[in-house]
Amino acid sequence: MSSIRVNPDGLSVLDRPNSYIGKTVPRPNLDRLLQGRGLYVSDIELPRMAHVVFLRSPHAHAKIVSVDAVTAKEMPGVIAVVTGKELGAVITPWVGVLSHLKGLKSAPQSAIAVDRVCWQGEAVAAIVATSRAAAEDAAEHVAVAYQELEAVTDMRTALDPATPVIHASLGDNLAFERVHDAGAVDQAFAVSDAVVEADFIFGRHTGVTLEPRAVVADWNAAEARLTIYQGTQAPHMVQNIAALHLGLREAQVRVVCKDVGGSFGIKVHIYADEMATYALSKLLRRPIKFVADRVESFNTDIHARDHRCKGKIGVKRDGTITAFEIDDLTGIGPYSMYPRTSAIEANQVVNLVGGPYTSKNYRARARVVFQNKNVMCQYRAVGHPIACSVTEGLVDLAARKIGMDPLEIRRRNLIADDAYPCASPSGLRFEQLSHHASLDKIVAMMGYDALRAEQATLRKEGIHRGIGIASFIEVTNPSAAFYGVGGAKISSQDGVAVRLDAQGSVICQTSITEQGQGSESLTAQIVGSVLGVSMDRVRVILGDTDVTPYGGGTWASRGAGIGGEAALQATKILRKNILDVAAVILQSTPAELDIVNNAIVNVSDGASRIELNELARIVYFRPDTLPPGIQPELMATKHFVPREYPFAFTNGVQAAWVEVDTETGFVKLLRHWVVEDCGTIINPQLVDEQIRGGVVQGLGAALFEKCIYDERGQLTNANMADYLVPMSGEMPDIDIGHVVSPTRESELGAKGAGEAGTAGAAAAVTNAVNDALSPFGTIITEIPLTPQVILTALGKI
C-alpha cells in the first residue's frame, strides 16, 4: 500500500487509494430496469385498491352550474363520484405564495374545482371505481352544466383594463412584478457606439415525462396513517403538504418513492389531482390509484417558459458591452403553483441575464400575469434557457452590429477567470467560475476556424450552415434562500445515515432521491471511497420518509453537491468509529490503521489486519470480548447545507453547428458541443449523460416543443403525435468537455450538473440559425424555430 498518512482523516477523500470519485462505474441496480423488473408507481397494486379518473373541464373559464352524477353512480364498478365541495370535507385549499417574493399573490385553489373552473383540464369531479376502465366509462355519464366565462389567454393584454380579472379578490391579473436597476443604465446606453434591441419569444412547453404522473394513496383508518406512493423528487415536501391540508401530523404521513419514469421538475410540485387522490383515500378509507393519461399530462403537468422578453444591449466599438436591459412578461395560468410558486422562473430571468459578463449596468423588469391556461412552474433549468437566450442573442446582435466575431466579443466581456469571488449586477455572488477556460476548450474541441472555413466554402454552393455559441451560468445547490426563507417547508439541507451491517456491508440512507440521474451511484461511490469498501458492499436506500433522514430531495442540481457532501461527512464519522474499535480489537491506535478493500490494514505497510465482516461480528455478537466501557457506534448520521453562498454557480459554454434548408425551413443539427464546469466530478459518465439529456431537452425547446393554445384557451396539440419532442433520428452526437473548479463550500467540491445542458442549448441553436441566415439579413428571436418561423423570417411565406 503506497501512501503513509499520519492523519488519514485530514486528507481529502479524493486522494484515498481505490477511490471511486472521478471514475466511471456503472450505476448499481440497473439490471432491475433493464429487465423490466422495476417498480414504478403505475405498476403498484394494493389490496382493496380502487382507481380514480378525473372528469376535467372542457372550458378554459366557466362557472360550474351543476354536477349530476346520479347515472354514473349506478354504473358497474363505480364506488363513488366526488365533487370539489364534497372533497372539501377532508382537504383544505391552498395559496401558492412565498413571503420573500414580495407582492406575489394568488387565489385559493382546491383539489377539485368548486363553483368555477379556470383552465381547460381542471378537475370538476372524481370518479372512483374498481378499475380505471369502469371509472372512465362512468365519467362519460357525469353531466356537468357550465356557464362559460370569458377566458384570459393572451399575456400581452392580461393587464389591460378591458380584460376581465380572473380572481376578483386579487384586484387584477398581475401575480408578481420585480424591477431591478443596477449601475447607470441610461448613461451607459448614451455613451455606447451602438444600441441593439430585440423581442424574444419563447414557446410554452412541458416536460413530457415518459411515465405520466402517478399516485397511489393508502389511508389506513385503523393505523390513522396515510402512505403515499408517488414518483416525487421531494418526498418530505409531499409529506409536509399532505399532512398540512389533510389535518394530519407529518408523522402520520409516509411518502414512498420507488422507480420514477422521468421527472425533470415536472414531479417536484404537488398537483391538485394528486391532493385529491390523497383526500379520496382518506374519504373512502381505501387505497386509491391515479395515473394520468397522456392527454391529462399535457393539460395538467406544469408548463414552462411562456415568456416574451424585450432585450436591449449597448456596446462600444472595441466590443465592450456597456449595459443590458430587459422587460420580461410571462403568463402562468390561473394560479401560482403550490408550494414552490410560479414567480420563480421570472425571478430567475431577472437574476441571470447578463450573468457571465463584466458589465455592471443592468435594468430589468419582470411581470408575471394570470391567464386561463394550464399552470406554469419550474421545469428543468428554471429561467436559465430564457436568460441565456436573451443574453447570448443580444451579445451576438451587438457583435454583428460592430462587425466583431462572436468569440471575440465574448472574450472581451466574459468575467475573467481570476476575478473571483465577485458579484453580478443582479447581486448574485460567484465563488469561482471559468468562462474563459471553458470558451478556449470548446473552441479547440469544435475546431472553430475549420468550421468557419467550411461554412464559407459551403455558402458558395448555396448550403447555409451556422455556428452558435452560448456561454451560461447555472444556479445549483440552493440554500434556504430559495424556499425556506419564504415560508415553504422545503428543506435545503440533506441528511445521510450510514451503518456497517453484521457482515461488513454498508447500509446508507439518504434524503436525496433517484429519478435516473444516478443519485444512488454517486452516494455509493462516495461512501465506498471514504470508507474504503468496494461499491458492491454499499446498499443505498432512498425515497422513503419513514426510513431516510430529513431532506430536500433531488432538484435544482442539488443531489451531488448537498446530498453527496452529507454522505461524505457521515461516512467520515463511521470510518472514525470503525477505526476506534479496530484499534481496541487490534491493540493499536486509530492513526496506525486504515480501511482499504473491506479490511482494516496497517497504514505503515498496508498489511491486512482484520476484515470488516470480522470486526462487525465481534461488535454485534461478541461485545463481551471488548474491554469494559467500549461501546462501538457503527452507525453515523450527518446533514449538510452550504452556508457561505446562498447558491453555488456552475458555468459553461455550448456550441451548435447547424444547417438550415432555406427552401423548406428545416434545421438540421449537425453537431453540438458543451464544456461545463460542475466542480468536482464524481462519475464522469453520469455527468456527461446528465448534460446530454439536458441538452436534448433544450434542443426540443429550440426546434419542436410548443403547447399551442387557441384564443379560447383550448390546448390544440395535447397528444404525443402533435406535440413534437426530439427523436433519435433528429438529434446530433453531443461532445462534452469539462473544466473543474470545485466549490470550497464542501469537502467534496461538487456543484451539480443536472440542468446545465438545458440552460444553454436553445441559445446556441438560435445563434447558429441566425449565423446560417446572416446572408439573408434576417434575425430570428423566437423559439421553437419551426419551418414556419424560419420561412416567415425569410419572407417565403
Partner 1 sequence: MTAAAAISLTVNGERVEAHVLPRLNLADFLREHLKLTGTHVGCEHGVCGACTVRVGGEIVRSCLMLAVQADGAVVETIEGLSDSGEIADLQAAFRDRNALQCGFCTPGMLMAAQDLLRENRTPAREEIREHLSGNYCRCTGYHAIIDAVETTARARMELKA
651 binds, among ligand FES, partner 1, none (CB under 5 to 8 A by kind): none
- In this complex, which beta carbon is closest to partner 1, that of residue 101 or of residue 288? 288
Triad 302, 429, 179: Cα angle to 5°: 60
CB of residue 554 vs ligand FES: minimum separation in angstroms?
A: 15
Q: Is 74 among the residues that bind partner 1 (CB under 8 A)?
A: no
Residue choice 188, 368, 725, 750 for contact with partner 1 (CB under 8 A): 725
Q: Is 731 among the residues that bind partner 1 (CB under 8 A)?
A: yes
Number of residues forming the site for partner 1 (CB under 8 A): 57
Q: Is 37 among the residues that bind partner 1 (CB under 8 A)?
A: yes
Tell me, residue by residue from 75 to 114, as one string, x for binding to partner 1 by CB under 8 A and - for no binding: -x--------------------------------------
Q: Rounded to an integer, what distance in angstroms lies between the CA atom of residue 393 and that of residue 224?
A: 56
- Residue 526 region, left (φ>0) first, then alpha (ψ -120 to 50), else beta? alpha
Cα–chain-centroid distance for residue 127?
32
Q: Rounded to an integer, what distance in angstroms lies between the CA atom of residue 7 and that of residue 604?
A: 12
Q: Is 211 among the residues that bind partner 1 (CB under 8 A)?
A: yes
Q: Which residue is nearest to ligand FES (CB)?
A: 210
Triad 771, 381, 494: Cα angle to 5°: 155
Q: Which helix (H) or strand (E) holds 526?
A: helix 519-531
Nearest to 542, CA basis, from 34, 27, 49: 27
Q: Is 728 among the residues that bind partner 1 (CB under 8 A)?
A: yes
Residue 366 has phi, psi (to 5 degrees) of -130, 130
697 binds, among partner 1, ligand FES, none (CB under 5 to 8 A by kind): partner 1
Residue with cell 441571470: 352
Residue choice 694, 749, 752, 760 for contact with partner 1 (CB under 8 A): 694
Rg of the chain on CA atoms, in Å: 28
Q: Rounded to an integer, what distance in angstroms lies between the CA atom of residue 602 and that of residue 607?
A: 5
Measured over all CA atoms, what is the biggest interatomic distance in the chain, rounded to whole angstroms?
Answer: 89
Residue choice 5, 15, 26, 744 for contact with partner 1 (CB under 8 A): 26
Q: Which of residues 502-541 bind partner 1 (CB under 8 A)?
A: 515-518
Q: Are 750 and 683 in contact (CB under 8 A)?
A: no
Around 590, how many Cα atoms within 13 Å sit in the side-chain half-sphere?
Answer: 12
762-796 residues labelled b (16+ CB within 10 A) or e (exposed): bbbbbbbbbbbbeeeeebbbbbbbbbebbbebbee
DSSP code of 109?
A: B
- In this complex, which beta carbon is closest to ligand FES, that of residue 325 or of residue 514? 514
679 binds, among ligand FES, partner 1, none (CB under 5 to 8 A by kind): none
Q: Is 43 among the residues that bind partner 1 (CB under 8 A)?
A: yes
Complete DSSP assignment for 534-582: -GGGEEEE-SBTTTSPP---S-TT-IIIIIHHHHHHHHHHHHHHHHHHH
Q: Is 721 among the residues that bind partner 1 (CB under 8 A)?
A: yes
Residue choice 2, 6, 36, 605 for contact with partner 1 (CB under 8 A): 36
Number of residues forming the site for ligand FES (CB under 6 A): 3
Type of residue at 380: R
- In this complex, which beta carbon is closest to ligand FES, that of residue 42 or of residue 455? 42
Q: Is 716 among the residues that bind partner 1 (CB under 8 A)?
A: no
Give the bridge partners for 599, in sequence order: 596, 611
Residue choice 311, 693, 737, 749 for contact with partner 1 (CB under 8 A): 693
Tell me, residue by residue from 97 to 116, as one string, x for binding to ligand FES by CB under 6 A and - for no binding: --------------------
Q: Which stretch binds partner 1 (CB under 8 A): 119-127, 187-195, 202-210, 605-613?
A: 202-210
CB of residue 673 vs partner 1: minimum separation in angstroms?
A: 12
Residue with cell 438560435: 766
Q: Rounded to an integer, what distance in angstroms lies between the CA atom of residue 757 and that of residue 653?
A: 9
- In this complex, which beta carbon is closest to partner 1, that of residue 153 or of residue 300? 300
Complete DSSP assignment for 334-396: SS--TTT-SSHHHHHHHHHTTTTB----EEEEEEEE--SS--B---TTTTHHHHHHHHHHHHH
CB of residue 277 vs ligand FES: minimum separation in angstroms?
A: 22
519-548 residues labelled b (16+ CB within 10 A) or e (exposed): bbbbbbbbbbbbbbbebebbbbebbbbeeb
Tell me, residue by residue from 259 to 298, as one string, x for binding to ligand FES by CB under 6 A and - for no binding: ---x------------------------------------
DSSP code of 333?
A: -
Q: Is 283 among the residues that bind partner 1 (CB under 8 A)?
A: no
Give the bridge partners for 290, in sequence order: 215
Q: Is 34 among the residues that bind ligand FES (CB under 6 A)?
A: no
- In this complex, which beta carbon is closest to partner 1, that of residue 66 or of residue 728? 728
- In this complex, which beta carbon is closest to partner 1, that of residue 133 or of residue 423? 133
- In this complex, which beta carbon is closest to ligand FES, that of residue 424 or of residue 554? 554
Q: Which of residues 112-141 bind partner 1 (CB under 8 A)?
A: 133
Q: Is 210 among the residues that bind ligand FES (CB under 6 A)?
A: yes
Tell me, residue by residue from 491 to 530, as one string, x for binding to ligand FES by CB under 6 A and - for no binding: -------------------------x--------------
604 binds, among ligand FES, partner 1, none (CB under 5 to 8 A by kind): none
Around 707, how many Cα atoms within 13 Å sit in the side-chain half-sphere?
Answer: 28
- In this complex, which beta carbon is closest to partner 1, that of residue 233 or of residue 743? 233
CB of residue 298 vs ligand FES: minimum separation in angstroms?
A: 14
Residue with cell 399552470: 375
CB of residue 37 vs partner 1: minimum separation in angstroms?
A: 6
Residue choice 262, 534, 550, 779 for contact with partner 1 (CB under 8 A): 262
Q: Are 415 and 422 in contact (CB under 8 A)?
A: yes
CB of residue 678 vs ligand FES: minimum separation in angstroms?
A: 21
221 binds, among ligand FES, partner 1, none (CB under 5 to 8 A by kind): none
CB of residue 513 vs partner 1: minimum separation in angstroms?
A: 12
Q: Is 721 among the residues that bind ligand FES (CB under 6 A)?
A: no
Q: Is 222 among the residues that bind partner 1 (CB under 8 A)?
A: no
671-697 residues labelled b (16+ CB within 10 A) or e (exposed): bbbbbbbbbbbbbeebbbbbbbbbbbb
- In this complex, which beta carbon is closest to ligand FES, that of residue 294 or of residue 429? 294
30 binds, among ligand FES, partner 1, none (CB under 5 to 8 A by kind): partner 1
Helix (H, G, I), strand (E, B) or coil at 138: helix
Q: Rounded to an integer, what distance in angstroms lies between the CA atom of residue 724 and that of residue 706?
A: 8
Q: Which helix (H) or strand (E) holds 769?
A: helix 756-772
Helix (H, G, I), strand (E, B) or coil at 410: helix
211 binds, among partner 1, ligand FES, none (CB under 5 to 8 A by kind): partner 1
Residue choice 17, 38, 606, 787 for contact with partner 1 (CB under 8 A): 38
- In this complex, which beta carbon is closest to partner 1, that of residue 352 or of residue 765? 765
Residue 630 has phi, psi (to 5 degrees) of -90, 115
For β-strands 194-202 and 321-331, DSSP reports them as unpaired
CB of residue 499 vs partner 1: minimum separation in angstroms?
A: 28
- In this complex, which beta carbon is closest to partner 1, that of residue 37 or of residue 63? 37
33 binds, among ligand FES, partner 1, none (CB under 5 to 8 A by kind): partner 1
What residues line the site for partner 1 (CB under 8 A)?
Answer: 26-27, 30-40, 42-43, 76, 133, 207-212, 259-264, 293-294, 515-518, 685-686, 689, 692-697, 719-721, 725-731, 733-734, 757
What residues line the site for ligand FES (CB under 6 A)?
Answer: 210, 262, 516
